[in-house]
Amino acid sequence: MQIHISFDYELFFGSSSGSIQKCIIEPTQKLIEISSKYKVPFIFYVDAGYLFQLKNNLHNALCLADFELITKQLRQLSDLGHEIGLHIHPHWEDCTFENNKWNINTTRYKLACFTEKEVENIITKYHQTIIDIIGKPCKSYRAGGWCVQPFDSIKKALIKNNIFIDSSVYYKGFHKSEAHAYNFLNAPNKTTWKFESDPSIVSNDGQFNEIAITYDKIPALFYWNLYFKMKSNPIVYKPIGDGNWLVDKKRIYKHFYTPTNHFACADGFFASRLPSILKRLESEKKDKMMVLSHPKSMASYSFQTLDNFISVALNKGHQICKIV
């Protein structure tokens, strides 16, 4: 089995974005150490809108320092052989840096909030920002907040940027809120497929490839366990990141009394589910596993658990690899 371990490389989008050191630099350095230990590559979907805004604010000493730090780390990741993918959170178009902090505005959180011409401009300039840093283009894309629908305007911009691989869909995924929405209820229970007009709909003649994020159905009891572990032992289970999530309280509360359609994840205590997910995929004779995580959400527990998971997977003969 090919196992893709991916990370959305970004800040938080709630009331506090958090610091670049705690949300990105420090946890990513720990991930570099794990990957170097086993000589395996990871995939980093880089929030290019954040980089673009940093670059636009280099007159500010803090933004300049952060841009230099992130540039150095991205070049290190690329030089070490990790895959750098394009990750778009278009709300950065409306965010400002004032009084030494980011003012996060998520009114336009998804590309569907913008015109077709604006979408093309956003994707192209964000992609170019990454190219200017690492010296090569991205080959795969992941939508911020899974908001990859509707796909028409995104499709045209991706074609212009020579990107024909997406990894935004997970089986049975569905969410609808004021901030963001996606509907993958019609997606197949497969690891990869071709598509054309909607990443969740198979089109055998499509020019795009979907590398699906691995599905995981999580029982309500897991969230009770997660809650008590974070309260009783935050040093071990609390994420390193020092910002705040964009919170949908109704959705969170629902997790405590009904099973959740989720995805394979190494964030915090979610990493505990990776071994059982791998066993299920082995029994189903799947050829791929795509793990979606975030440096900002990694905890002491998740680093150790991910380390153990990679060791077990490699000993079983599986391959930890990039998409391209």
pLDDT of residue 15: 87
Could you tell me the pLDDT band of residue 178, with boundaries at 50, 70 and 90?
A: confident
Q: Is 318 exposed, middle or buried (0-12, 13-18, 19+ CB in 10 A)?
A: middle
Q: Look up residue 162 and give its two tokens.
A: 């020579």
Q: Which residues pair with 5 in a beta bridge?
A: 291
Alpha carbon distance 66, 58 (integer Å): 9
* Lowest-confidence pick of 25-34, 73-82, 200-209, 241-250: 241-250
Which helix (H) or strand (E) segment holds residue 143: the answer is strand 140-143
The pLDDT of residue 251 is 77
Range 73-77 average pLDDT: 98
State yes or no: pLDDT of 179 exceeds 90. no
| Percentage, residues of the chain above pLDDT 90 | 94
Q: Between β-strands 215-218 and 260-263, what pairing exists: parallel, antiparallel or unpaired? A: antiparallel
Spell 156-168 as b/e; 16+ CB within 10 A means b. ebbeebebbbbbb
Q: Is the pLDDT of residue 139 over 80?
A: yes
Written as one letter, the residue type at 308 is N
Average pLDDT, the chain: 96
Distance from C-alpha of 274 to C-alpha of 49, rounded to nearest angstrom: 30
Query: How far apart are alpha carbons 300 and 310 in whole angstroms?
Result: 16
pLDDT tier, 215 (very low <50, low <70, confident <90, very high otherwise): very high
Q: Residue range 314-323: average pLDDT?
A: 98
pLDDT given for residue 201 in this prediction: 97
pTM: 0.97
* Phi–psi pair at 254, nearest 5 degrees: -65, -30
Q: What is the mean pLDDT of residues 233-252?
A: 88
Rounded CA-CA distance 168/99 in Å is 34
Res. 250: pLDDT tops 80: no
The closest of 170, 214, 219, 168 to 313, measured between CA atoms, is 214
